[in-house]
Structure 1
């Protein structure tokens, strides 16, 4: 079963952005401005430092604090990357959005 968000979650955040990964199973993020979309294998988020793509297996949203911009992702973290910009329509895949 796929968990996803059709409309982006946008919230206020502080200007600082930190990432902590614990044993590749828990990722704690601060400075998240919006979660554009997510499912069990990918999260696409806008942070105070740009767009971030997190990839892995069995990913779930463990915590979401919209007032502070804090997010916790649980699952097997396999890849973390920052992308220069995010473009595309919601019907396009993550990869086509990132590499346009």
Structure 2
């Protein structure tokens, strides 16, 4: 398993994106490209379907397979939200130029 680190950012190969949540306590995800930041209350993950924000309590990584782009989290999941990959860039440019 090879983990590529670029200043607190872990790059993971991509594929088909699937998320499975069991009882709001365990999440299995595929097609994870990068874990951009995380702590016990928030994960910000780059997936093949855009950025995924996960908020909760006592969140932790249980399994990470960098070669396959797999991630398993455990904790109390309270929120999951997707943003399009380039929506932040579009928003910034739109604010500058209207």
Normalising by structure 1, report the TM-score: 0.76
Give 4+ residue runs of structure 1 displaced > 6 Å after superposition. Answer: none
> 1:48 corresponds to which residue?
48
Superposed displacement of residue 7, structure 1:
1.1
Please give the alpha-carbon distance, in whole angstroms, between the structure 2 residues aligned to 1:64 and 1:57. Answer: 19
Could you tell which deviates more after superposition, 78-87 or 51-60? 78-87
More helix by share: 2
Look up the SS of the partner of 2:72 in the other structure.
Answer: strand
Look up the SS of the partner of 1:27 in the other structure.
Answer: strand
* Number of equivalenced pairs: 83
> 2:79 corresponds to which residue?
79
Normalising by structure 2, report the TM-score: 0.78
> CA RMSD for the aligned pairs?
1.9
- Conservation of the 8 A alpha-carbon contact between 2:29 and 2:72: yes
User: Which consecutive residues of structure 2, in runs of 5 or more, have no partner in the other structure?
Assistant: 1-6, 89-94
1:16-45 Cα shifts (integer Å, max 9, x gaps): 000000000000000100000100000000
User: Which consecutive residues of structure 1, in runs of 5 or more, have no partner in the other structure?
Assistant: 1-5, 88-99
The structure number with the bigger radius of gyration is 2
Please give the alpha-carbon distance, in whole angstroms, between the structure 2 residues aligned to 1:62 and 1:27. Answer: 10
